[in-house]
Amino acid sequence: MALSDFTGPTGVDDWSADLDRRWPERGAAARAVVARIAAWAVEQNVRPARALELGIGACHLSAAVLDVIDQCPVVGAGYTGLDIEPRLLDHGRSRLSHHDPARIDLHQVDLNDSNWSVGLPPVDVTFSLQSIHDLAGYQALQNIYQGLAELLRPGGLLINADFVEAFPQDDPQKPRRFPVSTHEDLLTARGFSQFSHSRHGKLACMSAIRSARFPVAVRSCPL
């Protein structure tokens, strides 16, 4: 069911609970995102200063990621969240209101726009859960990964937890859910390395490290 199907003061949380009911693997995928960020901080011996989330949903995942960041505090550390839905942004501001407002930066952004990343600050970690498949297909996925390559600092971590199997109702001429190998190829073409993934039902939690050098003129790679 769509967000618009849920109304009232608990509408956003009811919508999020409905997603969890229909896709119980979301919980495992979300835990994998948080665990990967924590492991990366230890492996790289870094303190994540700024995290970026694409598609904030009900902000359950962002709250968990902020808890990880709080365990290794850095001056100016914070969270940037992007979504096209004003209702989700309002809900996020309320849910995260116990944090210092200077640390929380939420923006209404259309991720289908090829210039979606323009004006955003550099980040150390970027993550998303079950969001990017809702965009306009392969070209949009290319643009997302290209924008993240430009936003992430060298050594930064990218995580995309999303569907990696086509659904029966999908239009094969306009696919939106792609296999793990497609994500790996797109990221490798943009200079990412250390690609890895874990499967959770129809979802995969995919991660890669932004290398010090990466190509910047690959937005039009053919499928």
The rounded distance, in Å, linking the Cα atoms of 104 and 51 is: 10
CA distance 77 to 71: 11
Domain span at 184: 28-210
Q: Tell me the mean pLDDT in the region 168-180.
A: 92
Q: Which of 39-53, 129-143, 175-189 has the lowest mean pLDDT?
A: 39-53
Which CATH number do you get for residue 195? Answer: 3.40.50.150
Q: Is residue 12 part of a domain?
A: no
Q: Does residue 199 have a pLDDT over 50?
A: yes
Assigned domain for 7 exists: no
Is the model's pLDDT at 131 over the cut of 80?
A: yes
Asked whether residue 6 is assigned to any structural domain, the reply reads: no
Number of Cβ within a 10 Å radius of residue 66: 19
| Average pLDDT score over residue span 111-139 | 93
Tell me, yes or no, whether 20 lies in a domain: no
Report angle CA 90, 101, 13 to the nearest 5 degrees: 30
Yes or no: say if 29 and 161 are a contact pair by the CB < 8 Å rule. yes
Q: What is the pLDDT of residue 73?
A: 60
In a domain, 142, yes or no: yes
Position 121 pLDDT exceeds 70: yes
E strand or H helix that includes residue 50: strand 50-54
The domain total for the chain is 1
Residue 213's pLDDT band (cuts 50, 70, 90) = low
Does residue 109 lie within any of the structural domains? yes
For residue 143, the model assigns a pLDDT of: 96
Question: Looking at the domain assignment, is residue 152 inside a domain?
Answer: yes
Report the pLDDT value the prediction gives residue 72, as an integer from 0 to 100.
Answer: 65
Bridge partner residues of 205 (DSSP): 161, 198
Q: Render pLDDT for 47-95 as a digit per residue (tens, 0 to 9).
A: 767 899 999 999 999 999 988 877 766 656 789 999 999 999 999 999 9
The predicted pLDDT at position 136 comes to 86
Query: How large a percentage of the chain has pLDDT more than 90?
Result: 68
92 neighbors 73 (Cβ within 8 angstroms)? no
